[in-house]
A and B are shown apart, each in its own frame.
Chain A
Amino acid sequence: MGSRASTLLREEEIEEIKKETGFSHSQITRLYSRFTSLDKGENGTLSREDFQRIPELAINPLGDRIINAFFPEGEDQVNFRGFMRTLAHFRPIEDNEKNKDPTASEPLNSRTNKLLFAFRLYDLDRDDKISRDELLQVLRMMVGVNISDEQLGSIADRTIQEADQNGDNSISFNEFIKVLEKVDVEQKMSIRFLH
C-alpha cells in the first residue's frame, strides 16, 4: 500500500516528539512524510546516501558537514527521532518560550544550541575545539579551488587571532559564542514553516 504518513506514526510518538522538539502536530506529520520519501530503502532509517540524493544539498559546499550533523558519533543510520532532534535546532524561537521555567532543560532551538550546531560544523574531530587545521579545511570546502593556500592560511590566522582569548591557538565554544554575540542568530539560523 506504500508508506502513509499518519498511519505509521503513532499518536504517542508524535506527542513525545512534540515535547522534545517543540514542533506542532501537523509539522511533525509533514516532516515524517518527508522522512519516508527520502528513505528509499524503506527500513525506517536514513543513510548518508539518502541525504546525498537531494540535489540542492549535494551542491551545497558544506553539504557533507551538514549531513554529518545528523549522525551521532560512529553511526551510519539515523531514525526519525534523531532526524527531528537535529531539525529542531532550526525551529524559530517563539516569544513565550523565552520566559519558560528556568529549571527545565534548554530547548533544542535555543540560541546556544543553534550556535553549538554551527560550532560543530567547524569542529571536524568533535574535540570541542576549532583548530587552525580544521578551520582551514572547512574554509577550503567553502571556497573550492578559487583561493590559494597562502591567502586561505592568512584568513584562518586572522580569524583565530581575533577570536582566541586564552592563547591556545584554537577556538573553544565559549570563544565562539563571544565572537558571534552580536549576530542575530535567532533569525539567521531559523526556518519558518508556512502552516
Chain B
Amino acid sequence: MGLFFDPFDNLLCILLGISFTVWFTLLLVFIIVPAIFGVSFGIRRLYMKSLLKIFEWATLRIERGAKEKNHLLYKPYSNAIIAKEPTSLEEEIKEIRRSGSNRDLDSASEFEMSDIFYFARRGVESIMDDEVTKRFSAEELESWNLLTRSNYNFHYISLRLTVLWGLGVLIRYGFLLPLRVTLAFTGVGLLVFLTSIIGLLPNGRMKNFLSEKVHLMCYRICVRALTAIITYHDRENKPKNGGICVANHTSPIDVIILASDGCYAMVGQIHGGLMGVIQRSMVKACPHIWFERSEVKDRHLVAKRLSDHVEDKSKLPILIFPEGTCINNTSVMMFKKGSFEIGSTVYPVAIKYDPRFGDAFWNSSKFGMVNYLLRMMSSWAIVCSVWYLPPMCREEGEDAVQFANRVKAAIARQGGLVDLLWDGGLKRGKVKDTFKEEQQKLYSKMLVGTQEDRSRS
C-alpha cells in the first residue's frame, strides 16, 4: 500500500512546485516588472472591454426574464424622482396668496393661513427625495454587473445568467482575489522595506530621486493589486512643488490613484497598527506631514505646518481632500476652508469612478477598512478618470470660502458631479441651526415688510 502512494505523492509535489514557479514568473513578468518601469501591456483595457460586453448581455437577459413573467423591473434612477421647482420662498408664497385672494396686491395682507402650504410641500418633497442623504450610500446602477451586491432584480435571473454569475464568482474569488492580495502584500512590503533603507541615506538629491522612484513603483504595484484602470487627462497641469493639490474624496484608494502618477506629501493623522508602520517608514524617505491625534484639533498648528511645508520649494506638493469625508462620487460637497487660507497655488484634481465595474465608495458606517478592501479586491476592476485642472490662486477681494467654492465648482464641472453646498460632515452630524434661522428670517421679512409699506401709505 505504501509503495502505491509514494510515487503519486512525489508527482503531486512536483506538479505543485511547477505550478508555483509558473505562477510567480507570470506575476513577475506581466505585473511587477511593468510596474517598476511604468509601462503597460494593455491587458487590463482588454479585460475591461470584454466585461462591458458581458454586462450588456446580462442586463438584456434580466429584462427579457422580467417581461416573460409580466412583471415590472425595478429601475434605479440616480437623478431626481420628483419635480422640484427652483422658486424661492418669497415667490412661491406670493403665488399662493395671489391665487387665493381677489384683493389687489397693494393691500396684500401680512399673513395668510395658506402660507403653510409652502413649508408643508417643501418638507414632504425632502422626505421623498433630498439632495444630501443619498450621497452617503452607494450609487445605484442601471445595468447589472454580475455582482450580487448591486442586484435589485435577482428573481428574474435565468439559468444561463446564474451559470455566468457562478463563473464570475469563481473567477473573482478563486483567481483574482488571491492574485490581488499577493500583489498588495508585495507592494506594501516593498514600500516599507525600501523606504526604511532609503531613510538611512544622507539628505540630498540622490535620496529624493530614489525616494521618488520607490514610491512610484510601490504605488503602481498597488494599482495593479486593485486592477485599477486609470485614465489621466491633462497631465501638463500636474501639481508642482510648493503647491497644494486638492481633489474630491470617494475612498482611501484615491491616494493610491494619484500617488502612482506623481509624488505628493501626504497629510493625515498618525494611526496605530499596520497603517502606522507604513506611515512611519514613508516619512523616513521624504517629508510627509503626519499629525498626532492631539495636534489635529489645533487649527493654528495644522495651518503653520502646512504653510511651512509649502514655503520650502524643495518639498513635494501637499495632497489634501477638503471634503473631509468620503462621498459617493455623484457629487462634491462643501470644501473646508483650511487649505485655502494658506495662500499658495492650488492644483485642483477631479476623480470620477466608473461604477459599472465595482463601486469604490467607502461607506465607513457600513464597512470597516479591511472589509472594504476585500470588497474592492473581489470586484471586477476599479475604473476611473483623473483630470488635472489648471492651477488656481486666490484672487483680490476673495476670501477663503469663496475661493474654496470656486475650486469646488471647477472640480464638479470637470468630473460631471453635482455641486452641493452641504457639508460632508452631515454624514454623521446634525445640520446647523443657522440654516433654519435663515429660512425664518426670509419668511419674517414677508410678514413684517408689508407692514412697513402699510404704515407708509
Contact = CB atoms under 8 A, between A and B. Distances in A.
Nearest to B72: A25
A163 to B, nearest CB: 7
Interface string B123-138: 1111111111110010
A63 B130 CA distance: 14
Contact of B113 (A4, A25, A163): A163
A53 B133 CA distance: 8
Nearest to B129: A34
A58 B430 CA distance: 9
Contacts of B115: 142
A134 to B, nearest CB: 12
A80 interface: no
Contacts of A151: 448, 451
Contacts of A190: 121
Contacts of A31: 128
Given A37-B137, A146-B444, A183-B100, A51 B120 contact: no
Contacts, number: 187
Nearest to B155: A7
Interface in A1-26: 1-2, 4-7, 11, 25-26
B441 A185 contact: no
Interface stretch (B145-153, B343-351, B394-402): B145-153
A155 B132 CA distance: 36
Interface in B193-232: none
Interface in B424-457: 426, 430-431, 435-441, 443-445, 447-448, 451
Interface residues of B, number: 68
A54 B126 contact: yes
Interface residues of A, number: 65
A174 B153 CA distance: 48
A146 B77 CA distance: 41
Question: Which 9 A/B pairs are nearest by Cβ-Cβ distance?
Answer: A144-B440, A183-B100, A146-B444, A56-B126, A66-B123, A59-B435, A6-B74, A55-B431, A143-B444
Given A117-B120, A182-B99, 17 more contacts: A4-B152, A26-B72, A56-B122, A58-B431, A59-B439, A60-B122, A60-B439, A63-B436, A66-B120, A66-B124, A87-B124, A87-B128, A138-B116, A144-B441, A147-B444, A194-B83, A195-B77
Interface of A: 1-2, 4-7, 11, 25-26, 29-31, 33-34, 37-38, 51-63, 66, 87, 90, 117-118, 121-122, 138-139, 142-147, 151, 155, 158-159, 163, 171, 176, 179-180, 182-185, 188-195
